Amino acid sequence: MTHLEVWETEKAMAADGPWERWVRLAEHFAGHSLDGDQLADGYSLDYAYEAFRSGMTAREYAAQIDGGGGRA
């Protein structure tokens, strides 16, 4: 990872940064914490972060992990 990539990751993960806002919103839509085990639960913060980095919206991610059964 380059220094710029490290900086962008740290900036995105700041308490008030885009990642923090995104994950709170995704948890709201899902109706639960995203701190799970990907294999056992079908979601995890690592996979959520990858979705965030790829440009997926919080609503799209919540729908994907809960089969659309999350909050609207």
Tokens of 39: 């294999």
Q: CB of 22 within 8 A of CB of 58?
A: yes
Instruction: Report the interhelical angle of 58-66 vs 45-54 (nearest 10°).
Output: 130
Say how many C-beta atoms besides its own lie within 10 A of residue 61's C-beta: 26
pLDDT at 70 over 60: no
What was the pLDDT predicted at 8? 74
Each domain of the chain, given as residue ranges in start order, spans 3-66
> Any residues with CB less than 8 A from the CB of 19 and at least 6 apart, and which?
12, 13, 49, 52
Entry pTM = 0.71
More confident residue, 72 or 62: 62
What was the pLDDT predicted at 72? 46
- pLDDT per position as a tens digit, 7-54: 777 666 666 789 999 999 999 999 999 999 999 999 999 999 999 999
User: How large is the C-alpha radius of gyration of the chain?
Assistant: 12
